[in-house]
């Protein structure tokens, strides 16, 4: 399915998928090392750069591939077959190339003109930051958690609330800050996605010029400040409504790899206390069927919604509120299916699943860590959808 899912009217990305598949054995071999480092190994970053995979959604005018949005989900899933932590960092950082294309041209040129493969971290917990208008820009302060892959980045995108002292109102806005303006705080001692280096980031009264900021209300779908130089449909997709698919693709890859690994290992496994073949137990067969069906359903759901978002943008339209909350609902539900798939296989693996050398224990830890992301939290997405479906007013500045 991976190589044949693109419609004939969209660019093929078989080459990028081949590049990702070629890295899987190496990434799997390095997965324990990544966990020990608590960040992505330098060699892995070099491999991803050399393959051009970080730049699949970057505008062509800066040498990027400008592929369909779905490509990030598919490539991220393949990388997740090798290492969940690597896939998580990859998908997040690659998505920032996509998002930067929505900013004004001056910000894009500043970051990409001399080094178009520059990586950008992020922290979009808006209430964690506060900013005030000043001459020529803003004064920004804040302390954010979960800035994945920040070790390798020279810039960061952070979200904050801009306070208007006169009216008391707050505006959700994003800020581009260079590495010299923020401090990394190493808090990443965790159970899952250990290798992502998702550290805290702190900024104290930094000046951010106007051109390096972007209001969230300007990226809710349709034209953005970057549309004058990046008119493609890819950059008219609302990033916060579709972000569940950026990280959801990682959960998909983790789950698909778990199904493949479980299937391969179960063929030769025997029960510890009876020496019976595990493959002969109907309970094992049933759990494998459920897990494979769940991952298949998750992939179909993600593909369908990503294609729908691209089609809406290609028509020059903006998704309706109903469509937006459905995007968020289905992205979170697809990730929920992936977690269910891994849980079912973990249950069927017995005590052997606890050993570090077993793939299923890392998949179990990583997929649950992935689903703790706010964009994939089922109760958040489901409640939002339910309110809109029931005619209840919502107050969410990112939608």
Per-residue pLDDT of the chain (399 residues; tens, 9 = 90+): 333 333 334 458 999 999 999 999 999 999 999 999 999 999 999 999 999 999 999 999 999 999 999 999 999 999 999 999 999 999 999 999 999 999 999 999 999 999 999 999 999 999 999 999 999 999 999 999 999 999 999 999 999 999 987 777 899 999 999 999 999 999 999 999 999 999 999 999 999 999 999 999 999 999 999 999 999 999 999 999 999 999 999 999 999 999 999 999 888 877 766 777 877 789 989 999 999 999 999 999 999 999 999 999 999 999 999 999 999 999 999 999 999 999 999 998 888 788 888 889 999 999 999 999 999 999 999 999 999 999 999 999 999
Look-up of token digits 């964690």: 128
CA distance linking residue 264 with residue 204, whole number of Å: 52
Instruction: Enter the tokens of residue 101.
Output: 């294309």
Q: Is the dihedral of CA 288, 291, 297, 303 positive or negative?
A: negative
Cα 68 versus chain centre, distance: 15
| Residue 149 structure tokens | 């892959």
Distances in Å between the Cα of 229 and the Cα atoms of 104, 271, 341 are 9, 62, 43
Give the pLDDT score at 6: 39
Write out the two tokens for 121.
Answer: 């971290």
Delineate the domains of the chain, giving CATH numbers in brackets: 14-117 (1.10.540.10), 120-228 (2.40.110.10), 237-389 (1.20.140.10)
Residue 237 Cα distances to 98, 217, 321, 327, 384, angstroms? 10, 13, 14, 11, 20
Helix, strand or coil for residue 41? Answer: coil
């Amino acid at each position: 399915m991976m190589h044949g899912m693109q419609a004939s009217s969209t660019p093929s990305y078989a080459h990028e998928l081949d590049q990702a598949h070629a890295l899987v054995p190496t990434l799997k071999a390095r997965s324990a090392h990544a966990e020990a480092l608590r960040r992505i190994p330098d060699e892995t970053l070099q491999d991803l750069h050399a393959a051009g995979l970080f730049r699949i959604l970057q505008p062509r005018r800066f040498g990027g591939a400008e592929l369909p949005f779905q490509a990030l989900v598919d490539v991220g899933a393949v990388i997740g077959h090798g290492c969940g932590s690597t896939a998580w960092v990859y998908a997040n950082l690659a998505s920032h190339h996509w998002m930067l294309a929505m900013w004004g041209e001056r910000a894009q040129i500043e970051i990409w003109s001399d080094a178009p493969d520059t990586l950008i971290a992020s922290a979009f917990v808006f209430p964690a930051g506060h900013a005030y208008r000043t001459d020529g820009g803003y004064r920004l302060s804040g302390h954010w958690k979960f800035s994945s892959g920040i070790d390798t980045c020279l810039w960061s995108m952070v979200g904050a609330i801009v306070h208007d002292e006169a009216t008391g109102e707050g505006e959700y806005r994003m800020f581009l800050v260079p590495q010299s303006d923020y401090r990394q705080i190493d808090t990443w001692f965790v159970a899952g996605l250990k290798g992502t280096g998702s550290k805290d980031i702190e900024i104290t009264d930094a000046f951010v010029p106007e051109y390096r900021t972007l209001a969230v209300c300007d990226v809710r779908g349709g034209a953005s400040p970057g549309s004058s130089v990046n008119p493609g449909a890819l950059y008219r997709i609302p990033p916060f409504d579709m972000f569940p698919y950026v990280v959801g693709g990682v959960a998909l890859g983790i789950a698909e790899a778990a199904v493949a690994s479980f299937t391969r290992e179960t063929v030769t496994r025997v029960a510890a206390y009876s020496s019976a073949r595990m493959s002969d137990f109907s309970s094992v067969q049933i759990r494998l069927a459920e897990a494979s069906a769940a991952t298949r359903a998750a992939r179909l759901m993600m593909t369908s919604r990503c294609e729908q978002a691209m089609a809406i943008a290609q028509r020059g339209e903006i998704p309706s509120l109903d469509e937006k909350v459905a995007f968020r609902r289905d992205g979170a539900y697809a990730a929920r299916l992936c977690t269910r798939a891994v849980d079912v296989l973990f249950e069927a693996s017995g005590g052997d699943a606890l050993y570090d050398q077993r793939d299923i224990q890392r998949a179990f830890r990583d997929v649950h860590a992935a689903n703790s992301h706010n964009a994939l939290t089922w109760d958040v997405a489901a409640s939002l959808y339910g309110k809109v479906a029931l005619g209840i007013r919502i107050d969410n500045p990112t939608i």
